Chain A
């Protein structure tokens, strides 16, 4: 199937309705409605829904207290287990289509004129991301600080949506840490080319999800390249928000440690060399 501009168009449900799904995710998970989190009597991703803190060991924590963190954040545990499990089989659909924290950043970045956008795509994202993730785990364990709540995108984005309506949520941003978080969301989200620099560099859930994606790539469905059709034109890498596609000489490769099935590359490929599926046997 060809689009008006002559380019092939990705036709799967997930490709065609991705923008709509991103918007629905925002409506369901974020204020002012936040219907999904209200099912458990919550208003945001803190507490029961916290997906970032339960797996972090802190200095002086007893095993009982550590395990109680799993109980306290039971919805966060369920969310993370579901994300990582589905990613093994199907790829990072949470990150590409469903994450309500990333959705507004990507959609917001599309409203920013191209000359104002910052291009972080030359950054080797996995190196940065896993340095951050290592510190995320190690520093609390040895007791010299924490990256959990202070730099939490799952806290900052919902509060950004609630701040116009709620003095409590506005208060979140009227302090040093809130200003830093707001700056990160703007600098690495709204004003970043593709809107996914925060996801690629600083999201611990995204980092774990990317590991799951890499591990499952040997048997699961992923975005892949048909080498018999690929002309190495590089058009796919220009649109990739995850900076996952690299053309080296006469070979184009997809780094499954960064790729998410947003299908933007599929839409950009003029030879239909990119497909979503299991590895060729």
Chain B
């Protein structure tokens, strides 16, 4: 009896945990390419938070190589920070791009990368459309653009 009750309790708890989304973070995936890149899906954040965290993971499609600057675009402009995910102690065992000054440096075909974008609206956002855009630092052309929507309820946002 105790085992059955524990099983049911754990199942209800787990379903609730899986279902609940606080909405202050999301995960987006994309592919960097010379043709402008491709986001797997847009990101939807609920309104009213004072901090949003977006985890961006991506792959570089051949033949693109270069450096890409990461910016958050939209009106009104929002304060944001971008962080990389570099090794603490880089043993130099394999090539990997590194992140410095909002720029992914040394991207090569088939590289994978992760960046964290933290957006801190000065006041709660009601609604708005923004883009997280990766610009090639030489041509200044976008190589990946991920739409980010604020407002409109819980919507479609993924694990982060």
Contacts and interface: CB of A to CB of B under 8 A. Distances in A.
B109 interface: no
A139 B96 contact: no
A49 B53 CA distance: 23
A140 B24 CA distance: 21
B94 A175 contact: no
B94 A38 contact: yes
Nearest to A149: B159
Interface string B53-81: 10001000000000000000000000001
A35 B91 contact: yes
A144 B15 contact: yes
Interface stretch (B31-39, B112-120, B122-130, B141-149): B112-120
Given A41-B94, A43-B87, A171-B116, A177 B25 contact: yes
Interface residues of B, number: 45
Nearest to A43: B87
> Could you say which interface size class chain A belongs to?
35 or more
A150 B99 CA distance: 25
Interface string A143-178: 011111111000000000010011111011011111
Contact of A149 (B3, B87, B115, B160): B160
Contact of A38 (B17, B22, B91): B91
Nearest to B5: A127
B160 A165 contact: no
Contacts of B9: 128, 131
A17 B154 CA distance: 50
Contacts of B89: 31-34
The 10 closest A-B pairs by CB, nearest first: A145-B18, A131-B10, A41-B94, A32-B88, A168-B83, A176-B22, A135-B14, A149-B159, A145-B19, A131-B11
13 contacts: A33-B89, A38-B91, A40-B94, A127-B7, A131-B6, A132-B11, A147-B14, A147-B17, A150-B18, A166-B85, A168-B83, A176-B24, A176-B25
Interface of B: 2-4, 6-11, 14-15, 17-22, 24-25, 27, 51, 53, 57, 81, 83-91, 93-96, 99, 112, 114-116, 118, 159-160
Given A44-B85, A171-B83, A175-B51, 10 more contacts: A39-B93, A40-B94, A127-B4, A145-B19, A147-B18, A162-B88, A166-B83, A168-B115, A171-B53, A177-B22
